[in-house]
C-alpha cells in the first residue's frame, strides 16, 4: 500500500507485508473453513443504524466506566498471544499504546513479555487473561502474580478446553511461541514435527475437564473480579450469573475455536437479556469500525474489545501503530455518535439500531 492507512482495515495489508507468512497466518487465521471468521464481520454489516436528528451534539463524550475504572471510550484491547512475533518490544509497546489512549489492556496469558514486565512498563489499568491448566498450581501462581502486580481483574477464557483446528497453522507447522511468564516454571519444548506445535503444546497444558464448579476454585484463590470470556448462549449467561462471576465477554475467540459458532454480535442481545443487568456484558469479534462499536453498545454491550487490528497496528508501526488503530476507532465512534444524535454513551439505546430480528414479527 503506497498511502497512509485511513482506517483499521488498511492496517491488515501493512501487517501482511511486514510479517513472515507463518506469523501473519497465525494472527489473521480462524478455525477450519473460517465461516465464523467472515460472519463476525458480516453480522455487523447486517445491522443498520437509526439516527436521530436535531439533538445537540456540539460536544460528544465517549468516556465510560468499566468495573469502576474510568476510560476514554468503551474500546478495550483484547488478550492476544505472542506480540513479540509482531514487533520486537511485544506487549510492552501495546501496553504503552493502551495507556496513551486511556483504555484498559487485557494481557494474554500467552504473552511474550512477563506479567511483571508489562506491569512496570507504564501506569495504567490492566486486566489479566487466564487459562486453567491441568497443572492448577501454575494457573494459581499466575493469578497471584497478576494480583501482586496490580492487575484489576481476571478474565477467564472458557471456550478453549482444547485448541481449535487452525488449518493454516497446521500447514505452516506453527511454532509454540515462548510464554514469558512461564519461564522457569514449565518448558514449552514440543518435540513433534507434525502439524501445529502450538496446538500440541496447548492441548498438553489445558484442562479439558474444566466445568462450572471450577469457578468456585478460582473465586477461592483471588479477591479480584472474575469475568468469563467465551459465552455465546443465554443458558451459559444465566449459569455465569448463578456462578457469581462479575462480568461476561461475549466472544468466539475471534473465530479461532469452533467454526460455525455464531457471530458474536448476533447473540449479544440473547446474552444481555439473560443477564438482566446484573453484571456487565462486553463483546469482542469482528469490531473494525466505530459504527460496529456503536451497534454493540446499542444492543447492550458495555464495551467492546479489539483483537487482530491491535496486532496489525503493532506489526505495521509498533506502539504508534496500536495507538493509531485505537484512535481511529475512537474517532469513528465519535462521528457515529454525533451523526446519530447521541452526545454521550448512555444516549445510545436499542432504538438506535435495527437488526434482522426486528423485521421478523412483520414477516410472520
Ligand X SMILES: CCCCCCC(=O)C(=O)O
Ligand Y SMILES: Cc1cc2nc3c(=O)[nH]c(=O)nc-3n(C[C@H](O)[C@H](O)[C@H](O)COP(=O)(O)O)c2cc1C
Residue with the three cell numbers 505472542:
82
Establish whether 81 is an annotated binding residue.
yes
- Per-position x/- string for 228-267, each x denoting binding to ligand X as judged by CB under 6 A, each - no binding: -------------------------x--x-----------
Closer to ligand Y by Cβ: residue 71 or 282: 282
Would you state the torsion angle of the CA atoms of residues 238, 241, 246, 247, taken in this order, to the nearest 10 degrees?
10
Q: Does 103 bind ligand Y (CB under 6 A)?
A: no
Pick one of ligand Y, ligand X, none as the site partner of residue 40 (Cβ within 5 to 8 A by kind): ligand Y
Alpha carbons within 13 A on the beta-carbon side of 228: 28
Give the residue numbers annotated as catalytic, written as ranges. Answer: 253
Pick one of ligand Y, ligand X, none as the site partner of residue 308 (Cβ within 5 to 8 A by kind): ligand Y
Q: Taking the mean position of all CA atoms in its chain, how far away is CA 27? A: 13
Pick one of ligand Y, ligand X, none as the site partner of residue 298 (Cβ within 5 to 8 A by kind): none
202-125-294 Cα angle (round to 5): 85
Q: Does 24 bind ligand X (CB under 6 A)?
A: no
Establish whether 108 is an annotated binding residue.
yes
In the set 36, 94, 108, 302, which binds ligand Y (CB under 6 A)?
A: 108
Query: Which residues on neighbouring strands pair with residue 126, listed in sequence order?
Result: 105
Query: Which residues on neighbouring strands pair with residue 226, listed in sequence order?
Result: 154
The residue among 340, 339, 343 whose CA lies nearest residue 352 is 340
- Residue 128 phi/psi, 5-degree rounding, is -120, 130
From 136-144, 200-208, 213-221, 271-279, give the range in contact with ligand X by CB under 6 A. Answer: 200-208
From 134-142, 170-178, 268-276, 306-314, give the range in contact with ligand Y by CB under 6 A. Answer: 306-314
Q: Does 131 bind ligand X (CB under 6 A)?
A: yes
Establish whether 251 is an annotated binding residue.
yes
The residue among 35, 39, 56 whose CA lies nearest residue 47 is 39
Q: Does 157 bind ligand Y (CB under 6 A)?
A: yes
C-alpha cell at 42: 458480516
Closer to ligand X by Cβ: residue 218 or 298: 218
Q: Does 110 bind ligand Y (CB under 6 A)?
A: yes
In the set 27, 133, 151, 201, which binds ligand Y (CB under 6 A)?
A: 27
Pick one of ligand X, ligand Y, none as the site partner of residue 127 (Cβ within 5 to 8 A by kind): none
Give CB contacts under 8 A, 24+ apart, made by 98-103.
Answer: 98/124, 98/126, 98/322, 98/326, 99/123, 99/124, 100/319, 100/323, 101/72, 101/73, 101/323, 101/326, 101/327, 101/330, 102/71, 102/72, 103/71, 103/72, 103/73, 103/75, 103/76, 103/77, 103/326
Q: Does 172 bind ligand Y (CB under 6 A)?
A: no
> Count of residues binding ligand X (CB under 6 A)?
9
Establish whether 129 is an annotated binding residue.
yes
Q: Which residues bind ligand Y (CB under 6 A)?
A: 26-27, 40, 78-81, 108-110, 129, 157, 229, 251, 253-254, 256, 284-287, 306-308
Binding-site positions for FMN: 79-81, 108, 129, 157, 229, 251, 284-288, 307-308
Amino acid at each position: 500500500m503506497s498511502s497512509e492507512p485511513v482506517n483499521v482495515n488498511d492496517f491488515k495489508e501493512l501487517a501482511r507485508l511486514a510479517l513472515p507468512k507463518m506469523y501473519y497466518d497465525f494472527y489473521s487465521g480462524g478455525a477450519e473453513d473460517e465461516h465464523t471468521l467472515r460472519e463476525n464481520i458480516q453480522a455487523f454489516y447486517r445491522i443498520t443504524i437509526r439516527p436521530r436528528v436535531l439533538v445537540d451534539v456540539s460536544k460528544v463524550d465517549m468516556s465510560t466506566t468499566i468495573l469502576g475504572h474510568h476510560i476514554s471510550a468503551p474500546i478495550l484491547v483484547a488478550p492476544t498471544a505472542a506480540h513479540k512475533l509482531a514487533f520486537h518490544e511485544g506487549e510492552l509497546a501495546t501496553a504503552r499504546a493502551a495507556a496513551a489512549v486511556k483504555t484498559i489492556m487485557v494481557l494474554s496469558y500467552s504473552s511474550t513479555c512477563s506479567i511483571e514486565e508489562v506491569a512496570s512498563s507504564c501506569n495504567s489499568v490492566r486486566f489479566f487473561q487466564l487459562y486453567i491448566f491441568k497443572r492448577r498450581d501454575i494457573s494459581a501462581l499466575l493469578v497471584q502474580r497478576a494480583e501482586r502486580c496490580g492487575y484489576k481483574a481476571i478474565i477467564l477464557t472458557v471456550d478453549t478446553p482444547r485448541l481449535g483446528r487452525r488449518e493454516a497453522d497446521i500447514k505452516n507447522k506453527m511454532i509454540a511461541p515462548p510464554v514469558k511468564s512461564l519461564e522457569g516454571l514449565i518448558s514449552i519444548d514440543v518435540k513433534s514435527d507434525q502439524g501445529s506445535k502450538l496446538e500440541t503444546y496447548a492441548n498438553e497444558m489445558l484442562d479439558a475437564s474444566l466445568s462450572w464448579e471450577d469457578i468456585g476454585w478460582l473465586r477461592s484463590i483471588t479477591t479480584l473480579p472474575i469475568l468469563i470470556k467465551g459465552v455465546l448462549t443465554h443458558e451459559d449467561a444465566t449459569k455465569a450469573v448463578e456462578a457469581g462471576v462479575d462480568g461476561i465477554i461475549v466472544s468466539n475467540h475471534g473465530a479461532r475455536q469452533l467454526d460455525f459458532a455464531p457471530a458474536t454480535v448476533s447473540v449479544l442481545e440473547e446474552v444481555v437479556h439473560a443477564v438482566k443487568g446484573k453484571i456487565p456484558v462486553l463483546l469482542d469479534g469482528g469490531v473494525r469500525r466505530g459504527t460496529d462499536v456503536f451497534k454493540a453498545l446499542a444492543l447492550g454491550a458495555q464495551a467492546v474489545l479489539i483483537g487482530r487490528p491491535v496486532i496489525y497496528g503493532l506489526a505495521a508501526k509498533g506502539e504508534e501503530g496500536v495507538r493509531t488503530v485505537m484512535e481511529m476507532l475512537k474517532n469513528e465512534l465519535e462521528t457515529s455518535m454525533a451523526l446519530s444524535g447521541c452526545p454521550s454513551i448512555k444516549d445510545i439505546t436499542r432504538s438506535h439500531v435495527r437488526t434482522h430480528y426486528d423485521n421478523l414479527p412483520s414477516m410472520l
